[in-house]
Amino acid sequence: MKTLKPYKEFLSYIVIMTVLFLVLWWMEFRFMVLQKDYEIYIGFLAVFFLLFGLWLSSKITKPKVETIVLEKKILVPETDFVFNQTEFQERNISKRELEVLTLMAKGMSNQEIAETLFVSLNTVKTHTTKLFEKLEVKRRTQAIETAKKLQLLPPTVV
């Protein structure tokens, strides 16, 4: 069996001629037979634009899946927790504020902290406000994270 490689150019001419013949036949059919049937032309246009719109919407709305790999450094303590007494004294944190901070790290709300420490809710709010000022933060999560970095809290509080 011979391959079609040597006849590639010849076959491409045949395909082009066939397509041109079909276009010519279609145009002859259009001008001779369907000269006044505009509804058919409008139907062809509608089908063309429908298919074009479907193709275009599939290209535009195709979800672009992108996998993002995040690398986050996790610090694991190699030794037992050692409380940083110097930082505790420099920041002038009271023992009660440290208790409030520890309970915040356990995930307790202000009301739960007040009930645990047998103080009023306003007292807990005052302690947290002073803690935020001393640790130079604005939120509870920031306070806990800063306290862990300064070794005022163990890395994992249970």
Question: What is the residue-level pLDDT of the chain in tens, covering all 158 positions?
Answer: 467 676 777 778 788 888 888 887 877 776 655 555 666 667 778 888 888 888 888 777 777 777 888 888 776 656 677 888 888 888 889 899 999 999 999 989 999 999 999 999 999 999 999 999 999 999 999 999 999 888 888 877 54
Residue spans per domain, the chain: 5-60, 85-149
Give yes or no for a contact between 104 and 127, defined as CB atoms under 8 angstroms apart: no
pLDDT at 158: 45
Assigned token pair, 70: 């995040």
Give yes or no for a contact between 93 and 150, defined as CB atoms under 8 angstroms apart: no
Could you count the other beta carbons within 10 Å of the beta carbon of residue 147?
26
pLDDT at 8: 76
Q: How far is CA 146 from CA 115, 143, 153, in A?
A: 25, 5, 9
DSSP 151: T
pLDDT at 110: 92
pLDDT at 60: 79
pLDDT at 72: 81
The closest of 120, 116, 136, 125 to 97, measured between CA atoms, is 125
Token pair 């610090």: residue: 75
The answer for residues whose C-beta is within 8 angstroms of residue 94's C-beta and 6 or more apart is: none
Assigned token pair, 62: 């195709």
CATH number of 85-149: 1.10.10.10
CA distance 157 to 81: 11
Residue 3: which H helix or E strand, with range? none
Does this model's pTM top 0.85? My answer is no
The closest of 149, 150, 147 to 104, measured between CA atoms, is 147
